[in-house]
């Protein structure tokens, strides 16, 4: 009996590690797709997965004279909502904190927050780019 419990616990941890690794792979794929999309639209990618005091910025880009903080949301199934719906109240608050940190690094530039939603539920990815998705001070 003790062996079965340990075995179940090992399976639980292996499953969780697999799910976390899978989420990282899916998220990374979505970020790659989003970066390529933004570059095609004329954005200059400054940095990716930029760690700042309050968290991590998926993509930091330049759109003409504006600095753009890009949050990428990728979904392979819509069981828990669309990618756009994953940017909830708490995520918006965090993005506003991140944008303040970026404002300090680029004091002479306007900073904007965009969301790029990547839908991988079909063979070809669908992209929804929400410009100035989150406003606030």
* CA pair distance 48, 66, nearest whole angstrom: 17
**Which of the two residues, 87 and 40, has the higher pLDDT score?**
40
pLDDT for 53 equals 86
**What gap in Å lies between CA 48 and CA 10, rounded to an integer?**
34
Residue 127 pLDDT grade (very low, low, confident, very high; cuts 50, 70, 90): very high
Q: For domain 2-130, which CATH number applies: 3.40.1350.10, 3.30.365.10, 3.30.930.10, 3.40.640.10?
A: 3.40.1350.10
What is the predicted pLDDT for the residue at 5? 43
- Looking at the predicted structure, is the pLDDT value of residue 14 above 90? no
How does pLDDT run across 29-63, given as a tens digit for each residue? Answer: 789 999 999 999 999 999 999 999 889 999 999 99
The answer on pLDDT for 120 being more than 90 is no
Q: Which residue has the tokens 């991590």?
A: 56
Q: How distant, in Å, are the alpha carbons of 16, 17, 71 from that of 48?
A: 26, 24, 11
Reference 121, options 30, 59, 43, 42; nearest CA is 30
pLDDT category at 89 given cuts 50, 70, 90 is confident
Enumerate the domain spans of the chain.
Answer: 2-130
Residue 8 CB coordination number (10 Å): 10
Q: Is residue 92 classed as helix, strand or coil in its secondary structure?
A: helix
Instruction: Identify the three-state secondary structure at position 131.
Output: coil
Mean pLDDT for the stretch of residues 101-109? 94
């Amino acid at each position: 009996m003790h062996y079965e419990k340990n075995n179940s616990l090992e399976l639980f941890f292996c499953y969780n590690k697999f799910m976390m690794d899978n989420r990282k792979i899916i998220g990374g794929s979505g970020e790659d797709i989003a970066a390529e999309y933004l570059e095609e639209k004329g954005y200059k990618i400054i940095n990716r997965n930029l760690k700042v005091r309050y968290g991590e910025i998926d993509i930091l880009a330049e759109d003409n004279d504006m600095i753009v903080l890009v949050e990428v949301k990728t979904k392979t199934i819509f069981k828990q909502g669309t990618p756009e719906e994953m940017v909830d109240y708490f995520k918006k608050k965090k993005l506003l904190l991140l944008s303040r940190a970026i404002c300090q690094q680029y004091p002479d530039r306007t900073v904007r927050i965009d969301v790029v939603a990547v839908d991988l539920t079909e063979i070809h990815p669908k992209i929804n780019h929400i410009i100035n998705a989150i406003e606030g001070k």
